[in-house]
């Protein structure tokens, strides 16, 4: 298990394939690098070098008490990327991971070649799906996940996956600053979005409350295209194949 100390936190990383650099960032709470490992990452790894990592507190990365705001998580990403590399990377993010990718691109315009924003919550504190989700008790959080995910979680005699997910959610919602950081996260202003120069792909779920963010990106981002897929906020689960196809097509140009 390649653990890299970045920004003072031990982060679990996986590198797949070789070629131009793609970095993929997962979403909060139920996400981990598995979000991408089982969807778009293997297909991208056919002709790219794909870096996947577990965000702080998630998956096999270190469970730390604080630093779940976007700025700190952008600093984690900065520390993970080789400083020597001048070659721009392609950044792909889902949910809060999309926000991290976007903020990284705004901060380092020369270092990002293309940007894929899947279900970008802008701002997360105003996204009904997220605020409603985080108001719940961890047990109800699990119950609120898409049916297909619950079936997998509850399969087997020990309900081991559900138990372990619950344990992770308890940490993230009760024992660290994540929820406090999440609701304090501010919106990205229009002029910042207007400053994005690289090509951007937005992917949104037809039933997601984030869908309206796509209209805003369409109005403000110069080089923007959008794919709307049948589904809600959990597109990597709900529309895995279609999402992979969209991302691979855009990354290959």
Partner 1 sequence: MSTTPQILAGVAQAIREVIGEDWIADELIEASTSFTDDLELESIEFVALAEKLQETYGERVDFVSWLSQMELDAIIGLTVGDVVEFIESCLS
* Chain positions contacting partner 1, by CB under 8 A: 1, 14, 16-17, 32-34, 37-39, 41-43, 45-46, 54, 59-60, 152, 155-161, 164-165, 237, 240-241
What is the spatial distance between Cα 90 and Cα 77, in angstroms, rounded to a whole number?
A: 13
Report the alpha-carbon distance of residue 175 to residue 164 in Å, rounded: 15
Other CB atoms within 10 A of residue 30 CB: 22
- How far apart are CB 56 and partner 1 at their closest, in Å? 15
CB of 167 or CB of 215, closer to partner 1: 167
Q: Which residues contact 10 (CB under 8 A, 6 or more apart)?
A: 3, 4, 61, 62
* Residue with Cβ nearer partner 1 (71 or 230): 230
CB of residue 233 vs partner 1: minimum separation in angstroms?
17
Beta-strand pair 49-53/21-25 = parallel
Between 159 and 219, whose beta carbon lies closer to partner 1? Answer: 159
Contact partners, residue 170, CB within 8 Å, separation at least 6: 138
Check: CB of residue 36 under 8 Å from CB of residue 52. yes
1 vs 86, beta carbon nearer partner 1: 1
The minimum distance between CB 168 and partner 1, in angstroms, equals 10
Write down the least CB distance from residue 151 to partner 1, Å.
9
């Amino acid at each position: 298990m390649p653990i890299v100390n970045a920004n003072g936190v031990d982060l679990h990383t996986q590198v797949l394939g070789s070629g131009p650099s793609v970095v993929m960032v997962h979403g909060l709470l139920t996400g981990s690098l598995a979000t991408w490992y089982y969807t778009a990452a293997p297909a991208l790894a056919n002709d790219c070098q794909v870096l996947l990592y577990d965000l702080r507190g998630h998956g096999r990365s270190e469970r730390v008490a604080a630093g779940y705001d976007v700025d700190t998580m952008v600093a984690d990403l900065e520390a993970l990327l080789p400083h020597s590399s001048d070659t721009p990377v392609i950044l792909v993010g889902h949910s809060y991971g999309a926000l991290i990718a976007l903020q990284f691109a705004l901060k380092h315009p020369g270092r990002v070649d293309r940007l894929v924003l899947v279900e970008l919550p802008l701002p997360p504190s105003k996204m009904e799906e997220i605020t409603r989700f985080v108001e719940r008790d961890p047990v109800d959080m699990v119950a609120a996940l898409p049916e297909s995910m619950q079936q997998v979680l509850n399969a087997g005699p020990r309900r081991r996956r559900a138990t372990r997910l619950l344990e992770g959610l308890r940490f993230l919602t009760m024992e660290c600053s994540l929820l406090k950081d999440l609701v304090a996260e501010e919106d990205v202003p229009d002029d910042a979005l207007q400053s994005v120069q690289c090509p951007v792909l937005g992917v949104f779920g037809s039933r997601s409350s984030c869908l309206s963010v796509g209209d805003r990106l369409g109005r403000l981002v110069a080089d923007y295209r959008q794919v709307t897929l049948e589904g809600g906020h959990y597109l990597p689960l709900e529309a895995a194949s279609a999402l992979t196809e969209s991302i691979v097509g855009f990354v290959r140009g």
